[in-house]
Structure 1
Amino acid sequence: MTASIGPGALNMVTAAGLATVNRLPVLLLPGDTYATRRQGPVLQQIEDPSAPDITANDAFRPVSRFFDRITRPEQLLTALPQAFRVLANPVETGAVVIALPQDIQSHAHDYPVEFFEPHDWKIRRPQPEAEDVRTVAEILRSAKKPLIIAGGGVVYSGATAELEALANATGIPVAETFGGKGAIQNPGPWHVWGIGLEGSPETNRLVEQADVILHVGTRLTDFATASQSLFHNPNVRFVSLNVSEFDGVKQGAATIVADAKVGLAALTAEVSGYRVPAEWTAEIAERQSRWVAMRAAAIDPDVLFPKTAEHDPDGTDAIITQGQMLGVMQEHARDGDILIAGAGGPPGDVQKVWDATNGRFAHLEFGFSCMGYELPAAIGVRFAEPDPAHRVMTFIGDGTFLMAPTELVTAAQEGLPLTIVISENHGYQVIRRLQMWRVGHHYGNEFRYRDPAKNVVNQVESNNSAGRLEGGYLDVDLVAVARGLGAHALRVRTADEFRTALNDTRDNAGPVVIVVATIPHANLPASGVWWDVAPAEVSDQPWLTAVREDYAAGIANQRWHG
């Protein structure tokens, strides 16, 4: 990816952070200011009086895994091999940035012809140490209530079959993180869905009891661990399998530093003959039965949701919830279809209720949770999966769509068959929900007009006090916006209308946008775990005092595990 200097380069910094956090290999080539400097400060250049060598591109340094600035053309001889080494390394990979000053871009150099010979960079699978495997296996064998947390490393490694083999052999339950969504494709009774803040409440009750936890290919962020409050067993021990030792040793785990695919195979062989106790198997089955029923009720699109003023204070024309919308999408999904989500409410809802098994994949960017990732991601997924029989669907809210809709033009330009499903719930409802939970009121999260009696024009009449954003919802025609950017677009209200829209547009040759009216404040079942988002420590508001007490109770469950 290339960019000009200044704002062009800075526009890629967020993408670099996303790639680095999610261990995605990306090569960025931002332009840079003149190395010779004889031109003086040039257009779009940032000057630092104390450090003339600093440019806007230095902002890439903390968010990239490799950064170099080429000030002589021959420097490419050493920079490029190192750049590609990082791109192909599963431990180090992320954003690789090579800044190219504008004048140096035009320079010639007598490069050795060997430099241009094709070179295959091998993506290695580090092998496990036998002693590490024995140590982890011994701890697992001692467990009465073991549990596996599967992260994105399982997916990156292509280790699904090996993880399923371990679970089938032992009966150890497997919970998935956001990155690990879809790590299980052929589920057994041990598949217990998502973990943590947006996971299944019944799964979280299992995690609270676990005495040995094996985490595989995960960074263990606060959403997975409930801010380190999820592991209640006072004697819980952790073991891990990770290609990165940095992540493997988290929670004080006894670690197998290896590729997930080969590491899981070795571990399965070492624990041969072990099965979880019958009591644990029975509890897993009972809790999964409860969750299956709870999930089915939450996403059933044919049950009339009892909409109240609490769920829809403005009385919109929406009659289905976002969960029911996902229920229709789940019905429609076929083997090979891919669902993408990245920011706001969609990734949490997908993590909670989407069945990503049997080839109905989910791609969730919840490492950086970057608004605006979803449409470019859909384009990338479509290029990687060109078979039109496999539908590529992006699920976003209206807030994310309005922030970054322009890649629809690219999709239309390339004639890419993509489906963008927009939940029209009139704002950033997941942030509103968080503010209500931790502050007791919300601010600026919904697309509302200001109080018409106190808008900016009338401030003089209202003692310069602008009204709050408490008017009606904005009248935004998302269908017209999408059509104007080259997509086939339509709006639906009912489950049947949505079903028809999905079926009728499945074979569309270009991008399709389906706007689904959803009830603004209707949520899926809560996960039943705590999250470390601190309310004000001191307040004269009774509500905040109560919230602070709840927060203090959560802190009491936080533990340091090593």
Structure 2
Amino acid sequence: MTDPTKRRTVRLTVAQAVVTYLSRQYSVADGERRRLIPAALGIFGHGNVAGLGQALDQLSDELPFVQGRNEQALVHIATAYAKASQRHATLAVTASIGPGALNMVTGAGLATVNRLPVLLLPGDTYATRHQGPVLQQLQHPVDADASVNDAFRPISRFFDRITRPEQLLTALPAAMRTLTDVDTGAVVVSLPQDIQSHAYDYPVEFFAERDWPIRRPAPDADEVAAVARMLAEAEKPLIIAGGGVVYSGATKELESLADAAGIPVAETFAGKGAVQCRAWWQLGGIGLEGTPAVNTLAAEADFVLTVGSRLTDFATASQSVFENPDVRFASINVNAHDTGRLGATGIVADAKRALAALTEAVRRDGTVTSPAWQAKTRSLDDQWQARRAAALDPNTPFDLAALPAESDVVPDTDALLTQGQLIGLLQEHAQPGDTIIAAAGGPPGDLQKVWDATEGRFAHLEFGFSCMGYELPAAIGVRFAVPDPSKRVLSLLGDGTFLMAPTELVTAAQEKLPVTIVIPENHGYQVIHRLQMMRSGREFGNEFRYREGGLHLAEAVGHPKPARLEGEYLQVDLVRTASGLGAHALRATTADEVRAALADTRDHEGPVVIVVPVIPHADLPGSGVWWDVAPAEVSEQESVARLRRQYEDGLASQRWYG
């Protein structure tokens, strides 16, 4: 007979214990129970192959493993999976110590900035130090215990280094608690490579299945009443929907409030698609990449209610978009710090529960906006919709004479379409259940401005970190979360981003994942070229051009001045590049060719890349707002001095709120 005073144990290595524990953790939200971490991704090196590599091999039936090409991209996959899962699940990512671990730092920053859960398990240097300096060890002259993994500390929501096997007993539950918290982000459990293989007698109950609730904090009745009073007193109210609406699943509650009170609704990047029904009050993006209709209303609004948003620089046009001298702010957010932004009166609560309570109060009070405010909203939006339709129409040839005056050279390419017209074709093709993804450069701003993300056409815009290289692996993460092949997962990314990080196409091909990558080829980092022209008036180092003559770095008498990057556009075959990485790749130039490429590849099993040449410097209509990006205060170039004067005039529109 077993002595009840003796605790039952199981002897496992640290790595085996980690994998076993992760395979038995569940999240619970609104009655739905699901695996919190259903798989691991990674690349093995000497810092993790003998420990975590062995454990993942032995326990692969319990925690499947996905092989990747770049550690940063693997973190992006996990992050996108978490976002597409409404933060109810994520993936684990492992890497070797040194460069492999540091490759994950950018991905960790993106996750934490966007409050998205991801679990990172980097290898670390030997805890015993018996080996002395080996490959990839940081030998800090002052901090003897420092390793490269300490770089994760300032960008993680939780960090722990396991130097004893029994430390897992407290570290892993703390990690799970952070992953399921409302204020989540990157969770890093650093695992010295020797400790990974050390064994310990763990309590059996440590590996029992455990549920982690995703909480919905209830609103305080007094806070709801205060905001309801402010809304009743407002003559020109505006709602700004952020990512918190999406994560909370509060779309119907938001729609009910807007419909009941007749309040126009704008969306941030993360909040794109927060409103799913088409209604007169559903307006789209706000701020720097918003619509002129929304920004005009924001300038007049005397009351602004933000829901699940931090109101960052792009949304507020550098604190300049709200021009009404009497404007007041209120905010709904699960994070108390974010609730108080712009001096807002806050409801610290879950968006779904808070919106439901506020709607009840609004209906009880009979609060409804004036016919004049509703009429102005309709009129401005009607005007914008006409401009939007014209900009997206691929059947209207683009007039090169319409390029901005500061466009230094009329581009000579084979492009017939603008990026806006390409987006129009993608919009035409999109079906309910499809997801479009963008993260850096021009695509996320253009989608924020013109994409119709209603009626189940989802937009996955990562712009809290504007991270080039996110888009392609994000398609893999979204596809893991949305396995139904009838629902298309499409990433829109520029040629600059694609050339930076194309290699996860191999992973998509290896896993036979139906993802579509559409590349508008405009021969450069053109969105930064646009900003450069706006702030310095000269193109420099942003277009993909040959250097004529050569670059002579050695100092020598008689050498000519170095030639600038001002030759013809680079000849880069993106189709062959993508094809060589395992994708079904093709080039489409005309509108009909784009339509055919989209239709013919919709059911393709595996990754698809469609390269579409687009006219450089041909932008969508502007948003009509100012932005705080300062030209050089001192310059010998007259164009810079002129732009500096214009910038200083714009500073008068910037305001600060207590």
The answer to whether the superposition gives a TM-score over 0.5 is yes
Q: Tell me what 1:313 maps to.
A: 410
1:186 alignment partner, one of 277, 298, 309: 277
Shift of 1:456: 4.6
Shift of 1:103: 1.0
1:547 alignment partner, one of 637, 643, 657: 643
Name the SS for the 1:120 alignment partner: strand
Q: Tell me what 1:38 maps to.
A: 130
2:389 alignment partner, one of 291, 296, 316: 296
Greater than 3 Å deviation, 4+ residue runs = 308-312, 453-462
User: For 1:319 and 1:456, how far apart are their aligned partners in 2?
Assistant: 38
Q: Tell me what 2:162 maps to.
A: 70
User: For 1:462 and 1:420, how far apart are their aligned partners in 2?
Assistant: 49
Q: What pairs up with 1:31-180 in 2 under 5 angstroms? A: 31-90=123-182, 92-180=183-271
Q: What pairs up with 1:87-486 in 2 under 5 angstroms? A: 87-90=179-182, 92-272=183-363, 273-308=366-401, 313-451=410-548, 453-456=549-552, 463-486=559-582
Q: Which amino acid aligns with 1:435?
A: Q
Name the SS for the 1:178 alignment partner: coil
Name the SS for the 1:111 alignment partner: strand
Shift of 1:454: 4.4
User: For 2:205 and 2:191, how far apart are their aligned partners in 1?
Assistant: 23
Alpha-carbon deviations, 1:219-246, whole Å to 9, x = none? Answer: 1110000010111000100001001111
Alpha-carbon deviations, 1:24-76, whole Å to 9, x = none? Answer: 11000001111111211121111110111111001001111000011111001
User: Residues 505 and 512 of structure 1 are in contact (CA less than 8 Å); yes or no, is this contact kept in structure 2?
Assistant: yes
Alpha-carbon deviations, 1:361-416, whole Å to 9, x = none? Answer: 11000011111111111001111111111111000000000000000000001111
User: For 1:289 and 1:461, how far apart are their aligned partners in 2?
Assistant: 65
Alpha-carbon deviations, 1:307-340, whole Å to 9, x = none? Answer: 2476662421101100000000000000110000
Q: Tell me what 2:20 maps to.
A: none
RMSD, aligned CA: 1.4
Alpha-carbon deviations, 1:169-208, whole Å to 9, x = none? Answer: 0111000000000000002101111000000011101000
Q: Tell me what 1:20 maps to.
A: 112
User: For 1:359 and 1:460, how far apart are their aligned partners in 2?
Assistant: 64
User: Residues 240 and 305 of structure 2 are in contact (CA less than 8 Å); yes or no, is this contact kept in structure 1?
Assistant: yes
User: For 1:79 and 1:263, how far apart are their aligned partners in 2?
Assistant: 33
User: Residues 411 and 616 of structure 2 are in contact (CA less than 8 Å); yes or no, is this contact kept in structure 1?
Assistant: no
User: For 1:123 and 1:20, how far apart are their aligned partners in 2?
Assistant: 18
User: For 2:545 and 2:381, how far apart are their aligned partners in 1?
Assistant: 41
Name the SS for the 2:274 alignment partner: coil
Alpha-carbon deviations, 1:280-323, whole Å to 9, x = none? Answer: 11110110011100100111111011124766624211011000
User: Residues 411 and 615 of structure 2 are in contact (CA less than 8 Å); yes or no, is this contact kept in structure 1?
Assistant: no
Q: How many residues align?
A: 560
Name the SS for the 1:393 alignment partner: strand
> Structure 2 vs 1, CA of residues 195 and 408 (structure 1 numbering), >3 Å: closer, same or farther?
same
Q: Which amino acid aligns with 2:456?
A: G
Shift of 1:539: 2.4
Shift of 1:553: 1.8
Q: Which amino acid aligns with 2:172?
A: L
User: Residues 211 and 237 of structure 1 are in contact (CA less than 8 Å); yes or no, is this contact kept in structure 2?
Assistant: yes
User: Residues 552 and 559 of structure 2 are in contact (CA less than 8 Å); yes or no, is this contact kept in structure 1?
Assistant: no
Name the SS for the 1:317 alignment partner: coil
Q: Which amino acid aligns with 1:224?
A: A
Shift of 1:139: 0.5
Q: Which amino acid aligns with 2:593?
A: E
Shift of 1:463: 1.3
User: For 2:308 and 2:217, how far apart are their aligned partners in 1?
Assistant: 13
Shift of 1:458: 12
User: Residues 307 and 319 of structure 1 are in contact (CA less than 8 Å); yes or no, is this contact kept in structure 2?
Assistant: no
User: Residues 314 and 472 of structure 1 are in contact (CA less than 8 Å); yes or no, is this contact kept in structure 2?
Assistant: no
Q: What pairs up with 1:515-526 in 2 under 5 angstroms? A: 515-526=611-622
User: For 2:376 and 2:445, how far apart are their aligned partners in 1?
Assistant: 25
Alpha-carbon deviations, 1:498-554, whole Å to 9, x = none? Answer: 001101111111111000010011000011111111111122332222211211122
Name the SS for the 1:224 alignment partner: helix
Q: Tell me what 2:583 maps to.
A: 487
Name the SS for the 1:271 alignment partner: helix
User: Residues 398 and 423 of structure 1 are in contact (CA less than 8 Å); yes or no, is this contact kept in structure 2?
Assistant: yes
User: Residues 156 and 185 of structure 2 are in contact (CA less than 8 Å); yes or no, is this contact kept in structure 1?
Assistant: yes
Q: Which amino acid aligns with 1:423?
A: P
Shift of 1:277: 0.9
Alpha-carbon deviations, 1:101-121, whole Å to 9, x = none? Answer: 111111111111110000010
Name the SS for the 1:161 alignment partner: helix
User: Residues 109 and 156 of structure 2 are in contact (CA less than 8 Å); yes or no, is this contact kept in structure 1?
Assistant: yes
Q: Which amino acid aligns with 2:379?
A: E
Q: What pairs up with 1:496-507 in 2 under 5 angstroms? A: 496-507=592-603
> Structure 2 vs 1, CA of residues 303 and 459 (structure 1 numbering), >3 Å: closer, same or farther?
farther
Alpha-carbon deviations, 1:110-150, whole Å to 9, x = none? Answer: 11111000001000000000000000100011000000010
User: For 2:599 and 2:452, how far apart are their aligned partners in 1?
Assistant: 20
Percent of aligned positions with the same letter in both sequences?
67
Shift of 1:465: 2.6
Q: Tell me what 2:57 maps to.
A: none
Shift of 1:460: 7.3
User: Residues 164 and 187 of structure 1 are in contact (CA less than 8 Å); yes or no, is this contact kept in structure 2?
Assistant: no
Name the SS for the 1:498 alignment partner: helix
Q: Tell me what 1:529 maps to.
A: 625
Q: Which amino acid aligns with 2:124?
A: D
Shift of 1:439: 1.1
Q: Which amino acid aligns with 1:434?
A: L
User: For 2:139 and 2:655, how far apart are their aligned partners in 1?
Assistant: 46
User: For 1:462 and 1:444, how far apart are their aligned partners in 2?
Assistant: 26
User: Residues 412 and 510 of structure 1 are in contact (CA less than 8 Å); yes or no, is this contact kept in structure 2?
Assistant: yes
Shift of 1:558: 1.2
User: Residues 438 and 492 of structure 2 are in contact (CA less than 8 Å); yes or no, is this contact kept in structure 1?
Assistant: yes
Name the SS for the 2:201 alignment partner: coil
Q: Which amino acid aligns with 2:149?
A: N
Q: Which amino acid aligns with 2:640?
A: L
User: For 1:105 and 1:221, how far apart are their aligned partners in 2?
Assistant: 41
Name the SS for the 1:121 alignment partner: strand
User: Residues 342 and 365 of structure 1 are in contact (CA less than 8 Å); yes or no, is this contact kept in structure 2?
Assistant: yes
